[in-house]
Structure 1
Amino acid sequence: MLLGVAGLTPGDWTTVNENVTRAVRKHGFRALQLRVSEPFNPEPALAERVKNAFGAAGLALSQTVGEYGGGLVSADESLRREAVEALKRMTAFTRIIGGTNTYLRPGSMNPRGAWMPHPDNRSDEVFDRLVRSSREAARAAADEGVMLAVEGGAVCPLFSAVRTREFFDAVDSPSMGYNMDPVNYVSDLETAYDSTSLLDDLFDQLGHVTIAAHAKDFAVEEGLLPHFKEAVIGEGLLDQATFLRRMLAVRPDAHIFIEHLPDELVPAARDGLNAAADRAEISWDNPPDCLNL
Protein backbone atom coordinates (compact mmCIF):
# COMPACT_ATOMS: atom_id res chain seq x y z
CA MET A 1 0.00 0.00 0.00
CA LEU A 2 1.07 3.57 -0.63
CA LEU A 3 0.74 6.36 1.91
CA GLY A 4 -0.82 9.43 0.32
CA VAL A 5 -2.28 12.79 1.21
CA ALA A 6 -5.18 14.97 0.14
CA GLY A 7 -3.57 18.29 0.92
CA LEU A 8 -0.19 20.03 1.10
CA THR A 9 -0.97 21.75 -2.20
CA PRO A 10 -1.69 25.47 -2.68
CA GLY A 11 -5.00 24.82 -4.42
CA ASP A 12 -6.38 23.34 -7.60
CA TRP A 13 -4.49 20.84 -9.76
CA THR A 14 -3.22 23.67 -11.94
CA THR A 15 -1.04 24.88 -9.04
CA VAL A 16 0.83 21.58 -8.79
CA ASN A 17 4.42 21.80 -10.00
CA GLU A 18 7.67 20.06 -9.19
CA ASN A 19 8.26 22.20 -6.11
CA VAL A 20 4.89 21.09 -4.73
CA THR A 21 5.37 17.39 -5.46
CA ARG A 22 8.90 17.34 -4.05
CA ALA A 23 7.64 19.01 -0.87
CA VAL A 24 4.92 16.37 -0.56
CA ARG A 25 7.53 13.65 -1.04
CA LYS A 26 9.76 15.18 1.65
CA HIS A 27 6.85 14.81 4.06
CA GLY A 28 7.06 11.06 3.46
CA PHE A 29 4.16 10.54 1.05
CA ARG A 30 4.17 8.54 -2.16
CA ALA A 31 0.73 9.48 -3.53
CA LEU A 32 -1.14 12.77 -3.88
CA GLN A 33 -4.82 13.38 -4.57
CA LEU A 34 -5.61 15.99 -7.22
CA ARG A 35 -8.48 18.43 -6.61
CA VAL A 36 -10.08 19.69 -9.82
CA SER A 37 -12.33 22.73 -9.97
CA GLU A 38 -12.57 22.82 -13.74
CA PRO A 39 -12.20 19.58 -15.72
CA PHE A 40 -13.03 21.02 -19.15
CA ASN A 41 -10.43 20.24 -21.82
CA PRO A 42 -7.21 20.56 -19.81
CA GLU A 43 -4.43 22.17 -21.81
CA PRO A 44 -2.11 19.35 -22.96
CA ALA A 45 1.05 21.21 -21.93
CA LEU A 46 -0.33 21.84 -18.44
CA ALA A 47 -1.43 18.23 -18.03
CA GLU A 48 2.02 17.08 -19.12
CA ARG A 49 3.71 19.47 -16.68
CA VAL A 50 1.68 18.07 -13.78
CA LYS A 51 2.36 14.47 -14.78
CA ASN A 52 6.07 15.21 -15.06
CA ALA A 53 6.03 16.86 -11.62
CA PHE A 54 4.61 13.68 -10.11
CA GLY A 55 7.22 11.57 -11.85
CA ALA A 56 10.12 13.80 -10.83
CA ALA A 57 9.18 13.47 -7.15
CA GLY A 58 8.41 9.76 -7.26
CA LEU A 59 4.72 10.31 -6.47
CA ALA A 60 1.86 8.16 -7.71
CA LEU A 61 -1.00 9.99 -9.44
CA SER A 62 -4.14 8.01 -8.77
CA GLN A 63 -7.23 9.74 -7.38
CA THR A 64 -8.86 12.93 -8.63
CA VAL A 65 -11.77 14.74 -6.99
CA GLY A 66 -14.14 17.18 -8.69
CA GLU A 67 -16.16 20.10 -7.35
CA TYR A 68 -19.61 19.13 -8.65
CA GLY A 69 -21.49 19.40 -5.34
CA GLY A 70 -24.30 17.12 -4.22
CA GLY A 71 -26.58 17.21 -7.24
CA LEU A 72 -26.42 13.52 -8.20
CA VAL A 73 -29.52 12.96 -6.04
CA SER A 74 -31.37 16.18 -6.86
CA ALA A 75 -35.09 15.98 -7.63
CA ASP A 76 -34.51 18.81 -10.11
CA GLU A 77 -33.62 16.94 -13.29
CA SER A 78 -31.58 19.83 -14.66
CA LEU A 79 -29.43 19.91 -11.51
CA ARG A 80 -29.05 16.14 -11.49
CA ARG A 81 -28.05 16.16 -15.15
CA GLU A 82 -25.52 18.93 -14.53
CA ALA A 83 -23.87 16.90 -11.76
CA VAL A 84 -23.79 13.74 -13.88
CA GLU A 85 -22.18 15.57 -16.78
CA ALA A 86 -19.59 17.11 -14.44
CA LEU A 87 -18.73 13.65 -13.12
CA LYS A 88 -18.45 12.33 -16.66
CA ARG A 89 -16.02 15.14 -17.45
CA MET A 90 -14.02 14.12 -14.40
CA THR A 91 -13.63 10.61 -15.82
CA ALA A 92 -12.22 12.07 -19.04
CA PHE A 93 -9.94 14.40 -17.09
CA THR A 94 -8.68 11.49 -14.98
CA ARG A 95 -7.72 9.55 -18.10
CA ILE A 96 -5.94 12.57 -19.60
CA ILE A 97 -3.97 13.34 -16.45
CA GLY A 98 -2.98 9.70 -15.98
CA GLY A 99 -5.06 8.95 -12.88
CA THR A 100 -6.76 5.66 -12.09
CA ASN A 101 -9.95 6.73 -10.29
CA THR A 102 -12.11 9.74 -9.59
CA TYR A 103 -14.00 10.28 -6.37
CA LEU A 104 -17.81 10.00 -6.46
CA ARG A 105 -19.60 12.18 -3.92
CA PRO A 106 -23.06 10.64 -3.27
CA GLY A 107 -24.66 13.99 -2.46
CA SER A 108 -27.51 15.21 -0.30
CA MET A 109 -30.94 16.76 -0.55
CA ASN A 110 -29.69 19.52 1.72
CA PRO A 111 -29.02 22.57 -0.48
CA ARG A 112 -26.32 23.76 1.92
CA GLY A 113 -23.88 21.01 1.05
CA ALA A 114 -23.21 17.52 -0.25
CA TRP A 115 -22.24 16.29 3.22
CA MET A 116 -25.10 17.87 5.13
CA PRO A 117 -27.95 15.81 6.66
CA HIS A 118 -31.51 15.83 5.34
CA PRO A 119 -34.49 13.65 6.32
CA ASP A 120 -34.99 12.53 2.71
CA ASN A 121 -31.42 11.28 2.27
CA ARG A 122 -32.43 7.83 3.53
CA SER A 123 -35.48 7.53 1.30
CA ASP A 124 -35.79 5.01 -1.51
CA GLU A 125 -36.49 7.81 -3.99
CA VAL A 126 -33.17 9.50 -3.28
CA PHE A 127 -31.34 6.16 -3.35
CA ASP A 128 -32.87 5.37 -6.75
CA ARG A 129 -31.77 8.71 -8.18
CA LEU A 130 -28.24 8.10 -6.92
CA VAL A 131 -28.21 4.68 -8.56
CA ARG A 132 -29.48 6.16 -11.83
CA SER A 133 -26.86 8.92 -11.82
CA SER A 134 -24.09 6.51 -10.89
CA ARG A 135 -24.96 4.06 -13.64
CA GLU A 136 -24.65 6.86 -16.19
CA ALA A 137 -21.31 7.97 -14.76
CA ALA A 138 -20.04 4.38 -14.59
CA ARG A 139 -20.65 3.93 -18.32
CA ALA A 140 -18.53 7.02 -18.98
CA ALA A 141 -15.81 5.72 -16.64
CA ALA A 142 -15.76 2.41 -18.50
CA ASP A 143 -15.37 4.25 -21.82
CA GLU A 144 -12.44 6.23 -20.39
CA GLY A 145 -10.78 3.22 -18.78
CA VAL A 146 -10.87 4.62 -15.23
CA MET A 147 -12.73 3.79 -12.03
CA LEU A 148 -15.23 5.68 -9.92
CA ALA A 149 -14.56 5.64 -6.17
CA VAL A 150 -17.73 6.21 -4.16
CA GLU A 151 -17.83 6.60 -0.41
CA GLY A 152 -20.65 6.73 2.10
CA GLY A 153 -21.42 8.22 5.48
CA ALA A 154 -24.09 8.57 8.13
CA VAL A 155 -25.51 11.83 6.74
CA CYS A 156 -25.72 10.78 3.09
CA PRO A 157 -27.84 8.28 1.09
CA LEU A 158 -25.20 5.56 1.63
CA PHE A 159 -25.59 5.68 5.40
CA SER A 160 -24.49 2.17 6.40
CA ALA A 161 -22.39 -0.72 5.17
CA VAL A 162 -25.53 -2.62 4.16
CA ARG A 163 -27.01 0.33 2.27
CA THR A 164 -23.72 0.89 0.49
CA ARG A 165 -23.58 -2.79 -0.48
CA GLU A 166 -27.13 -2.45 -1.85
CA PHE A 167 -25.90 0.47 -3.94
CA PHE A 168 -23.15 -1.64 -5.49
CA ASP A 169 -25.58 -4.44 -6.21
CA ALA A 170 -27.97 -1.99 -7.89
CA VAL A 171 -25.37 -0.14 -9.99
CA ASP A 172 -23.75 -3.45 -10.97
CA SER A 173 -20.75 -2.02 -12.80
CA PRO A 174 -17.12 -3.17 -12.76
CA SER A 175 -16.16 0.51 -13.10
CA MET A 176 -17.65 1.35 -9.69
CA GLY A 177 -15.24 0.97 -6.78
CA TYR A 178 -15.44 1.87 -3.11
CA ASN A 179 -13.41 4.48 -1.28
CA MET A 180 -13.12 3.18 2.29
CA ASP A 181 -13.66 6.03 4.79
CA PRO A 182 -14.85 4.51 8.10
CA VAL A 183 -15.01 7.71 10.15
CA ASN A 184 -17.88 8.95 7.97
CA TYR A 185 -20.15 6.24 9.37
CA VAL A 186 -19.78 7.12 13.06
CA SER A 187 -23.25 8.21 14.19
CA ASP A 188 -23.72 7.00 17.78
CA LEU A 189 -21.78 6.27 20.95
CA GLU A 190 -22.01 2.51 20.52
CA THR A 191 -20.15 2.79 17.22
CA ALA A 192 -17.72 5.38 18.55
CA TYR A 193 -16.62 3.19 21.44
CA ASP A 194 -16.39 0.03 19.33
CA SER A 195 -14.85 1.16 16.07
CA THR A 196 -13.41 -2.30 15.45
CA SER A 197 -16.91 -3.66 14.91
CA LEU A 198 -17.63 -0.80 12.49
CA LEU A 199 -14.50 -1.64 10.53
CA ASP A 200 -15.32 -5.33 10.42
CA ASP A 201 -18.83 -4.57 9.14
CA LEU A 202 -17.55 -2.26 6.41
CA PHE A 203 -14.82 -4.61 5.23
CA ASP A 204 -17.05 -7.68 5.40
CA GLN A 205 -19.69 -5.96 3.25
CA LEU A 206 -17.48 -3.87 0.96
CA GLY A 207 -13.94 -5.21 0.99
CA HIS A 208 -14.40 -6.90 -2.38
CA VAL A 209 -15.14 -3.57 -4.11
CA THR A 210 -12.66 -1.38 -2.18
CA ILE A 211 -10.06 0.34 -4.36
CA ALA A 212 -8.76 3.21 -2.17
CA ALA A 213 -9.18 4.75 1.27
CA HIS A 214 -9.25 8.04 3.15
CA ALA A 215 -7.51 8.01 6.52
CA LYS A 216 -8.64 10.16 9.41
CA ASP A 217 -9.69 9.87 13.05
CA PHE A 218 -12.47 11.07 15.33
CA ALA A 219 -13.20 11.93 18.93
CA VAL A 220 -16.30 12.25 21.12
CA GLU A 221 -17.00 15.76 22.39
CA GLU A 222 -18.14 15.97 25.99
CA GLY A 223 -21.71 17.13 26.50
CA LEU A 224 -25.28 16.08 27.23
CA LEU A 225 -25.97 15.13 23.62
CA PRO A 226 -23.48 13.06 21.60
CA HIS A 227 -21.31 15.05 19.22
CA PHE A 228 -18.32 13.88 17.21
CA LYS A 229 -15.42 15.73 15.67
CA GLU A 230 -12.55 14.76 13.43
CA ALA A 231 -9.17 14.37 15.11
CA VAL A 232 -5.53 13.93 14.19
CA ILE A 233 -4.83 10.29 13.43
CA GLY A 234 -3.64 8.57 16.58
CA GLU A 235 -5.36 11.02 18.91
CA GLY A 236 -8.86 9.64 18.35
CA LEU A 237 -10.88 6.45 18.70
CA LEU A 238 -10.62 4.69 15.34
CA ASP A 239 -8.83 1.35 15.50
CA GLN A 240 -6.20 2.37 12.95
CA ALA A 241 -4.22 -0.88 13.14
CA THR A 242 -7.30 -2.94 12.23
CA PHE A 243 -8.13 -0.43 9.48
CA LEU A 244 -4.71 -0.95 7.90
CA ARG A 245 -4.69 -4.73 8.37
CA ARG A 246 -8.09 -5.10 6.72
CA MET A 247 -7.08 -2.74 3.89
CA LEU A 248 -3.93 -4.73 3.22
CA ALA A 249 -5.93 -7.95 3.10
CA VAL A 250 -8.46 -6.72 0.54
CA ARG A 251 -6.37 -4.28 -1.51
CA PRO A 252 -2.60 -4.57 -1.05
CA ASP A 253 -2.00 -2.02 -3.84
CA ALA A 254 -4.35 0.61 -2.36
CA HIS A 255 -3.43 4.26 -1.97
CA ILE A 256 -4.47 5.59 1.44
CA PHE A 257 -4.92 9.35 1.61
CA ILE A 258 -4.74 11.35 4.84
CA GLU A 259 -7.37 14.09 4.53
CA HIS A 260 -9.36 16.89 6.18
CA LEU A 261 -6.46 18.45 8.07
CA PRO A 262 -4.69 21.80 7.77
CA ASP A 263 -1.16 21.47 6.44
CA GLU A 264 0.42 22.05 9.85
CA LEU A 265 -1.31 18.97 11.31
CA VAL A 266 -0.54 16.60 8.44
CA PRO A 267 2.88 15.53 9.82
CA ALA A 268 1.31 14.52 13.15
CA ALA A 269 -1.38 12.53 11.33
CA ARG A 270 1.27 10.87 9.18
CA ASP A 271 3.19 9.89 12.30
CA GLY A 272 0.00 8.54 13.88
CA LEU A 273 -0.78 6.39 10.86
CA ASN A 274 2.82 5.18 10.65
CA ALA A 275 2.66 4.20 14.32
CA ALA A 276 -0.50 2.20 13.59
CA ALA A 277 1.26 0.52 10.67
CA ASP A 278 4.09 -0.45 13.01
CA ARG A 279 1.61 -1.95 15.50
CA ALA A 280 -0.01 -3.89 12.68
CA GLU A 281 3.43 -4.99 11.43
CA ILE A 282 2.74 -3.44 8.04
CA SER A 283 5.39 -1.85 5.85
CA TRP A 284 4.36 0.74 3.30
CA ASP A 285 5.39 0.19 -0.27
CA ASN A 286 8.28 2.57 -0.91
CA PRO A 287 8.35 3.47 2.83
CA PRO A 288 7.29 7.07 3.55
CA ASP A 289 10.55 8.18 5.13
CA CYS A 290 11.43 11.82 4.52
CA LEU A 291 14.03 12.07 1.78
CA ASN A 292 16.28 14.91 0.68
CA LEU A 293 14.76 15.20 -2.77
Structure 2
Amino acid sequence: MQLGIFAKTFATTGALPVLRAVADGGYTAAQFNMACLGLPSMPDSIELGAARSVAEASGEAGVSIAAVSGTYNMIHPDRTVRIQGLARLEVLAASCADMGTRLITLCTGTRDAEDQWRWHPDNASEAAWSDLRTEMEAAIAIAERFDIELGIEPELANVLSSARAARRLLDEMNSTRLRIVLDPANLFEVADSAERHRLIDEAVGLLAGEIGLAHAKDRHADGSFAAAGKGVVDFPHFIGRLKAAGFDGPLITHGLTEAEAPGVGAFLRTVLEESERA
Protein backbone atom coordinates (compact mmCIF):
# COMPACT_ATOMS: atom_id res chain seq x y z
CA MET A 1 0.00 0.00 0.00
CA GLN A 2 1.12 3.54 -0.71
CA LEU A 3 1.18 5.79 2.38
CA GLY A 4 -0.37 9.23 1.94
CA ILE A 5 -1.86 12.19 3.77
CA PHE A 6 -4.42 14.95 3.26
CA ALA A 7 -2.48 17.73 1.53
CA LYS A 8 -4.55 20.27 3.50
CA THR A 9 -2.77 19.10 6.67
CA PHE A 10 0.04 21.49 5.74
CA ALA A 11 -0.39 25.23 6.20
CA THR A 12 1.59 26.33 3.16
CA THR A 13 -0.08 27.29 -0.14
CA GLY A 14 0.78 26.35 -3.70
CA ALA A 15 0.99 22.93 -5.29
CA LEU A 16 4.76 22.50 -5.10
CA PRO A 17 5.25 23.82 -1.53
CA VAL A 18 2.38 21.64 -0.30
CA LEU A 19 3.53 18.46 -2.02
CA ARG A 20 7.13 19.05 -0.94
CA ALA A 21 5.81 19.27 2.64
CA VAL A 22 3.98 15.99 2.07
CA ALA A 23 7.21 14.36 0.87
CA ASP A 24 9.25 15.88 3.72
CA GLY A 25 6.72 14.37 6.14
CA GLY A 26 7.57 10.94 4.79
CA TYR A 27 4.58 10.36 2.51
CA THR A 28 4.46 9.36 -1.15
CA ALA A 29 0.80 10.13 -1.90
CA ALA A 30 -1.68 12.88 -1.15
CA GLN A 31 -5.39 13.50 -1.20
CA PHE A 32 -5.40 16.98 -2.70
CA ASN A 33 -7.74 19.83 -1.86
CA MET A 34 -8.18 22.94 -4.01
CA ALA A 35 -7.80 24.99 -0.83
CA CYS A 36 -4.08 24.16 -1.14
CA LEU A 37 -4.05 26.48 -4.17
CA GLY A 38 -5.78 29.28 -2.27
CA LEU A 39 -9.14 28.42 -3.89
CA PRO A 40 -12.37 27.23 -2.30
CA SER A 41 -12.40 23.45 -1.86
CA MET A 42 -15.20 23.36 -4.44
CA PRO A 43 -14.48 26.31 -6.75
CA ASP A 44 -16.78 27.72 -9.41
CA SER A 45 -13.89 27.66 -11.90
CA ILE A 46 -10.35 26.31 -12.11
CA GLU A 47 -7.79 27.85 -14.44
CA LEU A 48 -5.91 25.39 -16.62
CA GLY A 49 -2.57 26.54 -15.25
CA ALA A 50 -3.70 25.95 -11.68
CA ALA A 51 -4.80 22.41 -12.46
CA ARG A 52 -1.63 21.57 -14.36
CA SER A 53 0.51 22.95 -11.53
CA VAL A 54 -0.72 20.07 -9.36
CA ALA A 55 0.44 17.38 -11.80
CA GLU A 56 3.74 19.18 -12.35
CA ALA A 57 4.35 19.47 -8.61
CA SER A 58 3.36 15.82 -8.18
CA GLY A 59 6.14 14.76 -10.54
CA GLU A 60 8.72 17.12 -9.05
CA ALA A 61 7.99 16.20 -5.42
CA GLY A 62 7.54 12.47 -6.10
CA VAL A 63 4.08 12.48 -4.54
CA SER A 64 1.18 10.90 -6.41
CA ILE A 65 -2.29 12.47 -6.31
CA ALA A 66 -4.43 9.64 -4.97
CA ALA A 67 -7.63 11.70 -5.01
CA VAL A 68 -9.00 15.21 -4.82
CA SER A 69 -11.63 16.23 -2.27
CA GLY A 70 -14.99 17.11 -3.80
CA THR A 71 -17.22 17.08 -0.75
CA TYR A 72 -20.54 18.90 -0.70
CA ASN A 73 -23.80 17.99 1.01
CA MET A 74 -25.46 15.68 -1.50
CA ILE A 75 -28.79 15.55 0.39
CA HIS A 76 -28.90 19.14 1.68
CA PRO A 77 -32.54 20.05 2.45
CA ASP A 78 -32.29 23.03 0.08
CA ARG A 79 -32.27 21.72 -3.49
CA THR A 80 -30.55 24.88 -4.76
CA VAL A 81 -27.54 24.04 -2.58
CA ARG A 82 -27.39 20.57 -4.15
CA ILE A 83 -27.60 22.03 -7.65
CA GLN A 84 -24.70 24.38 -6.90
CA GLY A 85 -22.65 21.52 -5.42
CA LEU A 86 -23.21 19.35 -8.47
CA ALA A 87 -22.13 22.18 -10.79
CA ARG A 88 -18.93 22.59 -8.79
CA LEU A 89 -18.36 18.83 -8.89
CA GLU A 90 -18.41 19.06 -12.69
CA VAL A 91 -15.83 21.86 -12.58
CA LEU A 92 -13.58 19.67 -10.43
CA ALA A 93 -14.12 16.61 -12.62
CA ALA A 94 -13.16 18.58 -15.72
CA SER A 95 -9.78 19.37 -14.14
CA CYS A 96 -8.93 15.90 -12.84
CA ALA A 97 -6.93 14.81 -15.89
CA ASP A 98 -4.82 17.97 -15.76
CA MET A 99 -4.20 17.45 -12.03
CA GLY A 100 -3.15 13.84 -12.53
CA THR A 101 -5.89 12.03 -10.65
CA ARG A 102 -8.97 9.96 -11.49
CA LEU A 103 -10.71 9.90 -8.09
CA ILE A 104 -12.91 12.53 -6.44
CA THR A 105 -14.04 11.88 -2.87
CA LEU A 106 -17.63 12.80 -2.04
CA CYS A 107 -19.79 13.45 1.02
CA THR A 108 -23.10 11.57 0.77
CA GLY A 109 -24.54 14.23 3.03
CA THR A 110 -27.01 14.93 5.80
CA ARG A 111 -30.31 16.72 6.23
CA ASP A 112 -28.54 19.06 8.66
CA ALA A 113 -28.53 22.37 6.82
CA GLU A 114 -25.52 23.82 8.64
CA ASP A 115 -22.95 21.03 8.92
CA GLN A 116 -22.49 18.30 6.30
CA TRP A 117 -20.75 16.11 8.89
CA ARG A 118 -23.51 16.22 11.52
CA TRP A 119 -26.20 13.57 11.90
CA HIS A 120 -29.88 14.44 11.38
CA PRO A 121 -32.78 12.04 12.16
CA ASP A 122 -34.19 12.53 8.65
CA ASN A 123 -31.04 10.94 7.20
CA ALA A 124 -32.73 7.59 7.83
CA SER A 125 -35.82 8.48 5.79
CA GLU A 126 -36.65 7.05 2.38
CA ALA A 127 -36.91 10.64 1.08
CA ALA A 128 -33.25 11.23 1.98
CA TRP A 129 -32.25 7.98 0.28
CA SER A 130 -34.22 8.93 -2.80
CA ASP A 131 -32.48 12.31 -2.97
CA LEU A 132 -29.11 10.59 -2.61
CA ARG A 133 -29.89 8.25 -5.49
CA THR A 134 -30.97 11.15 -7.69
CA GLU A 135 -27.84 13.14 -6.85
CA MET A 136 -25.60 10.13 -7.32
CA GLU A 137 -27.07 9.39 -10.74
CA ALA A 138 -26.16 12.92 -11.82
CA ALA A 139 -22.68 12.61 -10.29
CA ILE A 140 -22.09 9.29 -12.06
CA ALA A 141 -23.07 10.91 -15.37
CA ILE A 142 -20.37 13.53 -14.75
CA ALA A 143 -17.87 10.79 -13.90
CA GLU A 144 -18.70 9.01 -17.15
CA ARG A 145 -18.24 12.20 -19.13
CA PHE A 146 -14.77 12.89 -17.71
CA ASP A 147 -13.65 9.26 -17.23
CA ILE A 148 -13.12 9.51 -13.47
CA GLU A 149 -14.27 7.64 -10.37
CA LEU A 150 -16.19 8.82 -7.31
CA GLY A 151 -15.28 7.81 -3.76
CA ILE A 152 -18.14 7.31 -1.29
CA GLU A 153 -17.48 6.71 2.39
CA PRO A 154 -19.48 5.03 5.15
CA GLU A 155 -19.70 7.80 7.76
CA LEU A 156 -21.89 7.71 10.88
CA ALA A 157 -23.20 11.26 10.50
CA ASN A 158 -24.16 10.92 6.83
CA VAL A 159 -27.00 9.19 4.99
CA LEU A 160 -24.49 6.49 4.02
CA SER A 161 -24.04 5.71 7.71
CA SER A 162 -22.73 2.14 7.58
CA ALA A 163 -21.02 -0.45 5.42
CA ARG A 164 -24.41 -2.06 4.81
CA ALA A 165 -25.82 1.23 3.52
CA ALA A 166 -22.78 1.59 1.26
CA ARG A 167 -23.33 -1.92 -0.09
CA ARG A 168 -26.98 -1.07 -0.78
CA LEU A 169 -26.03 2.06 -2.72
CA LEU A 170 -23.41 0.23 -4.76
CA ASP A 171 -25.94 -2.45 -5.66
CA GLU A 172 -28.67 0.03 -6.56
CA MET A 173 -26.43 2.32 -8.60
CA ASN A 174 -24.66 -0.61 -10.32
CA SER A 175 -21.89 1.63 -11.64
CA THR A 176 -18.19 0.90 -11.97
CA ARG A 177 -17.63 4.64 -11.41
CA LEU A 178 -18.35 4.30 -7.68
CA ARG A 179 -15.52 3.37 -5.35
CA ILE A 180 -15.42 3.01 -1.58
CA VAL A 181 -13.32 5.13 0.76
CA LEU A 182 -12.97 3.11 3.96
CA ASP A 183 -12.00 4.72 7.27
CA PRO A 184 -12.16 2.45 10.34
CA ALA A 185 -12.80 5.41 12.66
CA ASN A 186 -15.99 6.23 10.76
CA LEU A 187 -17.51 2.82 11.45
CA PHE A 188 -18.06 3.39 15.19
CA GLU A 189 -18.10 6.12 17.82
CA VAL A 190 -17.79 4.25 21.14
CA ALA A 191 -17.39 0.46 20.99
CA ASP A 192 -15.39 -2.23 22.71
CA SER A 193 -12.52 -4.02 21.01
CA ALA A 194 -14.59 -6.99 19.83
CA GLU A 195 -17.23 -4.73 18.28
CA ARG A 196 -14.60 -2.57 16.58
CA HIS A 197 -13.07 -5.67 15.03
CA ARG A 198 -16.48 -6.95 13.99
CA LEU A 199 -17.37 -3.69 12.26
CA ILE A 200 -14.05 -3.59 10.39
CA ASP A 201 -14.43 -7.22 9.32
CA GLU A 202 -18.00 -6.61 8.18
CA ALA A 203 -17.07 -3.50 6.19
CA VAL A 204 -14.14 -5.13 4.42
CA GLY A 205 -16.18 -8.26 3.75
CA LEU A 206 -19.07 -6.32 2.23
CA LEU A 207 -17.06 -3.77 0.28
CA ALA A 208 -13.67 -5.33 -0.54
CA GLY A 209 -14.17 -5.44 -4.29
CA GLU A 210 -14.97 -1.74 -4.52
CA ILE A 211 -12.49 -0.20 -2.04
CA GLY A 212 -10.47 2.36 -3.96
CA LEU A 213 -8.96 4.29 -1.06
CA ALA A 214 -8.39 3.66 2.64
CA HIS A 215 -8.33 6.44 5.22
CA ALA A 216 -6.47 6.32 8.53
CA LYS A 217 -7.66 8.40 11.44
CA ASP A 218 -8.35 7.25 14.99
CA ARG A 219 -10.74 7.67 17.90
CA HIS A 220 -10.17 8.04 21.61
CA ALA A 221 -12.13 5.73 23.92
CA ASP A 222 -14.66 8.54 24.52
CA GLY A 223 -15.47 8.73 20.80
CA SER A 224 -13.53 11.89 19.96
CA PHE A 225 -11.26 11.78 16.95
CA ALA A 226 -7.50 11.34 17.22
CA ALA A 227 -4.48 11.01 14.96
CA ALA A 228 -3.75 7.46 13.80
CA GLY A 229 -1.96 5.48 16.49
CA LYS A 230 -3.19 7.74 19.30
CA GLY A 231 -6.52 6.02 19.94
CA VAL A 232 -8.32 2.69 20.06
CA VAL A 233 -8.41 1.67 16.36
CA ASP A 234 -6.45 -1.54 15.81
CA PHE A 235 -4.54 -0.54 12.69
CA PRO A 236 -2.64 -3.83 12.35
CA HIS A 237 -6.05 -5.56 12.24
CA PHE A 238 -7.50 -3.05 9.76
CA ILE A 239 -4.52 -3.16 7.42
CA GLY A 240 -4.30 -6.92 7.73
CA ARG A 241 -7.94 -7.30 6.71
CA LEU A 242 -7.45 -4.94 3.75
CA LYS A 243 -4.37 -6.87 2.65
CA ALA A 244 -6.14 -10.22 2.98
CA ALA A 245 -8.98 -8.86 0.83
CA GLY A 246 -6.54 -7.92 -1.92
CA PHE A 247 -6.49 -4.15 -1.40
CA ASP A 248 -3.19 -2.58 -2.43
CA GLY A 249 -4.24 1.03 -2.97
CA PRO A 250 -3.38 4.25 -1.14
CA LEU A 251 -3.73 4.54 2.65
CA ILE A 252 -4.35 8.22 3.37
CA THR A 253 -4.12 9.61 6.90
CA HIS A 254 -5.98 12.70 8.10
CA GLY A 255 -7.37 14.20 11.29
CA LEU A 256 -3.91 15.20 12.48
CA THR A 257 -1.84 18.36 12.82
CA GLU A 258 1.12 19.26 10.66
CA ALA A 259 3.40 18.68 13.65
CA GLU A 260 2.01 15.17 14.09
CA ALA A 261 2.53 14.20 10.43
CA PRO A 262 6.05 12.69 10.68
CA GLY A 263 5.20 10.61 13.76
CA VAL A 264 1.94 9.33 12.33
CA GLY A 265 3.70 8.45 9.10
CA ALA A 266 6.35 6.51 11.01
CA PHE A 267 3.66 4.63 12.95
CA LEU A 268 1.71 3.67 9.84
CA ARG A 269 4.84 2.66 7.92
CA THR A 270 5.74 0.32 10.75
CA VAL A 271 2.28 -1.25 10.63
CA LEU A 272 2.50 -1.63 6.85
CA GLU A 273 5.98 -3.17 7.05
CA GLU A 274 4.86 -5.63 9.73
CA SER A 275 1.84 -6.60 7.63
CA GLU A 276 4.20 -7.45 4.77
CA ARG A 277 6.14 -9.80 7.05
CA ALA A 278 3.02 -11.43 8.48
What amino acid does structure 1 have at the position aligned with 2:64?
Answer: A
Q: 1:274 to 1:100 in 2, by over 3 A?
A: same
The answer for the alignment partner of 1:110 in structure 2 is 112
Runs of 4+, deviation exceeding 3 Å: 38-41, 249-253
What amino acid does structure 1 have at the position aligned with 2:195?
Answer: D
The answer for the alignment partner of 1:231 in structure 2 is 226
| Matched pairs, number | 271
Deviations 1:232-272 (A, max 9, x none): 22221111012112223445441111101111112222122
3-state SS in 1 of match to 2:143: helix
82-91 or 106-115, which deviates more: 82-91
Q: What CA distance in whole angstroms lies between the structure 1 residues aligned with 2:191 and 2:213?
A: 27
Equivalence map 1:1-293=2 (5 Å): 1-6=1-6, 7-10=8-11, 15-36=13-34, 37=40, 38-66=42-70, 68=72, 70=73, 72-190=74-192, 194-221=195-222, 228-250=223-245, 252-281=247-276
Q: What CA distance in whole angstroms lies between the structure 1 residues aligned with 2:259 and 2:2?
A: 21
Contact 1:39 1:93 (C-alpha < 8 Å) held by counterparts = no
After superposition, the CA RMSD in angstroms is 2.0
Q: What CA distance in whole angstroms lies between the structure 1 residues aligned with 2:122 and 2:32?
A: 31
Q: What CA distance in whole angstroms lies between the structure 1 residues aligned with 2:58 and 2:158?
A: 33
After TM superposition, give the deviation of residue 142 of structure 1 in Å.
1.4
Q: What CA distance in whole angstroms lies between the structure 1 residues aligned with 2:190 and 2:256?
A: 23
What amino acid does structure 1 have at the position aligned with 2:211?
Answer: T
Q: 1:128 to 1:88 in 2, by over 3 A?
A: same
Deviations 1:169-217 (A, max 9, x none): 1121110111111211213434x65322111000011111110011111
- The gaps in structure 1 that reach 5 residues or longer are 222-227, 284-293
3-state SS in 2 of match to 1:73: coil
Contact 1:210 1:250 (C-alpha < 8 Å) held by counterparts = no
- Choose between structure 1 and 2 for higher RCO, CA contacts under 8 A separated by at least 6 residues: 1
Contact 2:32 2:69 (C-alpha < 8 Å) held by counterparts = yes
Q: What CA distance in whole angstroms lies between the structure 2 residues aligned with 1:131 and 1:246?
A: 30
Deviations 1:8-67 (A, max 9, x none): 4336xxx33333322321221111111122444422223222211110111101200135
Q: What CA distance in whole angstroms lies between the structure 1 residues aligned with 2:270 and 2:130?
A: 41
What amino acid does structure 2 have at the position aligned with 1:97?
Answer: M
